[in-house]
Amino acid sequence: MNLLKDRKKARSYREFLYILPFLVLVAIFSYYPLYGWVYAFFDYKPPFPLSMDKFVGFKWFKSIVDSPTKINQVLKVLRNTFAISGLSLMFSWFPMVFAIFLNEIKSKGYRKFVQTVTTLPNFISWVLVYSIAFSVLSSTGAVNSILMGLGLIDTPKLFLQSSNNVWFRMWLWLTWKNAGWAAIMYIAALSGIDEELNEAARIDGASKIQIIWYITLPSLLPTYFVLVMLNLANFLSNGMEQFYVFQNSFNKEYIQVLDLYVYNIAMGSGGYSLSVAISILKSIVSLILLCVTNTLSKLVRGEGFI
Amino acid sequence: MSAKLSKNPKNKVRVSLEDRIISIASYFIYSLFAFVCLYPFYYIFINSLSANDLSERGKVLFWIKGLHFKNYVDVMKVPGLFNALKISVARTLVGTAFTVITAAFLGFMFTQETLWKRKLWYRFVVATMYFNAGIIPWYITMRNLNLTNNFWGYIFPTVVAPFYIVLCKTYVESVPKELQQAAEIDGAGTMRIFLQIMLPVIQPILATVAIFSAVNQWNSFQDTLLLVTDNKLYTLQFVLYQYITQASSLKALVNSSSTSTSLAASLATAQTATSIRMTVTIVVVTPIILVYPFFQRFFIKGIMIGAVKG
């Protein structure tokens, strides 16, 4: 009996040894960087190692708000972040509606075609998206050529170098890239709806719109709710790639979101410590948002998403 | 059905008319959508094959004008492009291999109830999905580990991918327990069960993970931006970004090394900023487009499992 127990114990430790190298990797690449947060409390100038006499306490945190110009800049960055995340949140119903009406189309081949084609942009990088945007929207690009050919404009419009509607255009590109992919989740949920329910409604004389409104939409709402909550939890994290590739001196004022700002002050002007301080504040707010939305989800659905 | 049952003939007409309008409008809107998603790719493709003086002036809109393939020959003369292609292919192959094997192994190990402190380690790994130290601390870590300007800087951080591990673990859990029990009775150890029993069974999910991680590796841009200053390690994505921002200086370089002497021929085939940009774009996007139709079902499977667990 004892022998068996020992054997089992030996096996359990041996299995732990198998996964240990991977745990070490996780520790190094995911947990150890957290230690880097201490740089926010030092006057850090790479490549010199940290030393105690460079300790500055909360100087960088205070410096975010210590002069009107800085406050102004931070407010602008926050404004951009809120505007772009807000737009995504406001139109987060779009993939759902996209899926619902796509599902109404009778021809299966056509449905499949639309789904395949609209999902494709999700799998190309933001650099490629920018390259496409550049090709299509530059002064000799397709859009300008067509508009001028139709006589709608006389001189090429410089779409990418304009500071008008930057947030909306960023939202458009995001939608171009993601909407088809985001719709897949709803399309799958749609196939789970009991066909008899629709049939019964049709016999009762319900129109297509009525069926969508009273049967389809309610059955998709739980999925929608989860995605909105996730959206809210990531409100401050737009990522930087999209905005990095699209940024230029004309639109910088409107395109610089938090993630890009953190990158720009560190890599652009060497403000490592300040950058870390800002990303710490961002992480704290994001953590709070995650807890709040998770609790909300628990209250509404009975289960969280963590 | 409704047509047969509704007694009022007027009602019948109204319903079907409404449905018909929706149906026509849907076809129209979705065709527009498909066009907007597909046309840019097509536009760039036909421009890369058209006469360069026409594409430069935006004259190529719907079909190829002045077909020639010289752009694709010349593009290999663009300094650094071939090397970037090698780096991108290498990181995609190596990175995907590491990620998939690790996801399979850890996904399997985390289902083994004998594993010491199994739940703790599983949480230790999965928790990393929900926080992020930020790019600067990450960059400093990478520099301390000597992984900046190092090919392995592309690979090591992606080896343990918690999301894929969750996918694999879910899949392994759906495999009947008897399979493993039978092997255990026959005296197979953990490693042997993993290699000979589990690996063959969980192949469908591994295909999904492989596709996801290959696309991520191929598309990755931010890590080059942060970690690499050595142009021998630039990836295709990074080089493409550079070309977009500085294509005009490149065209001079490529044209000067070109052997074409006839002036008439050279107008259509001499490189312009536009032709280089478009051709490189096609080179970068082609692998994705080639792979995509075959693996679409794997993508969809992945997002569904992710949605259930997620």
Inter-chain contacts counted by CB atoms under 8 A, chains A and B: 254
Domain count, chain A: 1
The residue that leads in pLDDT, B63 or B10, is B63
As a whole number, mean pLDDT of residues A66-89 equals 90
Q: Which of A26, A98, A121 is closest, CB to CB, to B37?
A: A121
pLDDT of residue B69: 85
What average pLDDT does range A2-9 have in this prediction? 79
- All residues of chain B having their beta carbon less than 8 Å from the beta carbon of residue A139 are 58
Q: Do B26 and A104 touch (CB under 8 A)?
A: yes
Do the Cβ atoms of B134 and A306 come within 8 Å?
no
Interface of A with B in 53-92 (CB under 8 A): none
The predicted complex's ipTM stands at: 0.85
**Cβ separation of B241 and A287 shorter than 8 Å?**
no
Question: Which chain B residues are closer than 8 Å to A135 by Cβ?
Answer: 40, 43-44, 47, 274, 277-278, 281
Answer for the pair A219, A189: CB distance below 8 angstroms, yes or no: yes
The reply to whether residue B134 touches residue A276, judged by beta carbons under 8 angstroms, is yes
Percent of chain B with pLDDT over 90: 35
Q: Is A200 on the interface with B (CB under 8 A)?
A: no
Cα of A265 to nearest chain B Cα, Å = 10
> How close B257 gets to chain A, by Cα (Å)?
25
Higher pLDDT, B294 or B82: B82
- From A118, A132, A245, residue closest to B44, measured CB to CB: A132
Classify residue A50 by its DSSP letter: P
State the Cα–Cα distance between residues A73 and A252, nearest whole angstrom: 12
Angle between helical axes of B9-49 and B273-309 (0-180°, round to 10): 130
Domain of A228: which CATH number? Answer: 1.10.3720.10
pLDDT at site B257: 55
Beta bridge partners of A55: A42
The 8-class DSSP code of residue A248 comes to -
A136 in B contact zone (CB under 8 Å): yes
A26 touches chain B (CB under 8 A): yes
Question: Tell me: the pLDDT tens digits for A224-261?
Answer: 888 888 888 889 888 889 999 998 888 888 889 999 99
Q: In a 3-state reduction of DSSP, which class is residue A75?
A: helix
In a domain, A277, yes or no: yes
pLDDT of A97: 92
DSSP string, A105-171: ---HHHHHHHHHHHHGGGGS-HHHHHHHHHHHHSTTSHHHHHHHHTTS-SS---STT--TTHHHHHH
Confidence category of residue A272, pLDDT binned at 50, 70, 90: confident
Asked whether the beta carbons of residue B219 and residue A11 sit closer than 8 angstroms, the reply is no
Omega within 30 of 0 (cis) for the link into A33 = no
* B249 within 8 A of B272, measured Cβ to Cβ: no
In chain A, what residues touch B41 (CB-CB under 8 Å)? 120, 132
B261: closest CA of chain A, how far (Å): 28
Closest listed residue to residue A29, CA positions, set A21, A19, A17, A40:
A21
- Give pTM, 2 decimals: 0.86
Nearest beta carbon to residue A283 from set B38, B134, B292: B134
In a domain, A50, yes or no: no
Q: What is the 3-state secondary structure (H, E, C) of chain B?
A: CHHHHCCCHHHHHHHHHHHHHHHHHHHHHHHHHHHHHHHHHHHHHHHHHCCHHHHHCCCCCCCCCCCCCHHHHHHHHCCCHHHHHHHHHHHHHHHHHHHHHHHHHHHHHCCCCCCCCHHHHHHHHHHHHCCCCCHHHHHHHHHHCCCCCCCHHHHHHHHCCHHHHHHHHHHHHHCCHHHHHHHHHCCCCHHHHHHHHHHHHCHHHHHHHHHHHHHHHHHCCHHHHHHCCCHHHCCHHHHHHHHHHHHHHHHHHHHHHCCCCCHHHHHHHCCCHHHHHHHHHHHHHHHHHHHHHHHHHHHHHHHHHHHHHC
**Pair of tokens at residue B43:** 């536009």
**Residue A129 scores a pLDDT above 90:** yes
Is residue B57 less than 8 Å (CB to CB) from chain A?
Answer: yes
Whether residue A240 is contained in a domain is answered as yes
Distance in Å, alpha carbon of A252 to nearest chain B alpha carbon: 16
- Mean pLDDT computed over A57-62: 81
What average pLDDT score do residues B275-286 get?
88
Residue among B44, B93, B81 at smallest CA distance from B237 = B81
Among A111, A112, A127, pick the best mutation site for testing chain B contact (most B Cβ within 10 A): A127
Q: Tell whether A88 is covered by a domain.
A: yes
When CB atoms are compared, the residue of B19, B36, B156 closest to A25 is: B156
Measured between CB atoms, does B188 come within 8 Å of chain A? no
pLDDT at B309 over 50: no
For residues A236 and A287, give the distance between their C-alpha atoms in angstroms, rounded to a whole number: 11
Domain region containing A103: 67-123+169-301
Determine which of B49, B136, B142, B147 to mutate to test the interface with A (most A C-beta atoms within 10 Å): B136
What are A183-232's pLDDT values in tens digits?
988 888 888 788 888 888 888 888 888 888 888 888 888 888 888 888 88
* Helix-helix angle B81-109:B203-219, to 10 degrees: 140
Of B310 and A279, which is predicted with more confidence? A279
Does residue A40 belong to any structural domain of this protein? Answer: no
Q: Does residue A116 belong to the interface with chain B, where contact is any CB pair within 8 Å?
A: yes
The residues in B 18-47 lying below 8 A from A, measured between CB atoms, are: 18-19, 22-23, 26-27, 29-31, 33-34, 36-41, 43-44, 47
Q: Residue A193: phi, psi to the nearest 5?
A: -75, 135
Cα gap A184→B310, rounded to integer Å: 15
State the amino acid at position B174 in one-letter form: S
Contact assignment for A128 to B244 by CB distance below 8 Å: no
Collapse the DSSP code of A13 into the 3-class scheme (helix H, G, I; strand E, B; otherwise coil) and give the result: helix
Mean pLDDT of A127-142: 87
**Does A106 contact B at CB distance below 8 Å?**
yes
Other C-beta atoms within 10 Å of A129: how many?
A: 20
B308 against A202, higher pLDDT? A202
> Between chains, do B244 and A13 touch, taking CB under 8 Å as contact?
no
**Reported confidence tier of residue B103, pLDDT bands at 50, 70, 90:** very high
**Among A3-7, A13-17, B97-101, B163-167, the range of highest mean pLDDT:** B97-101
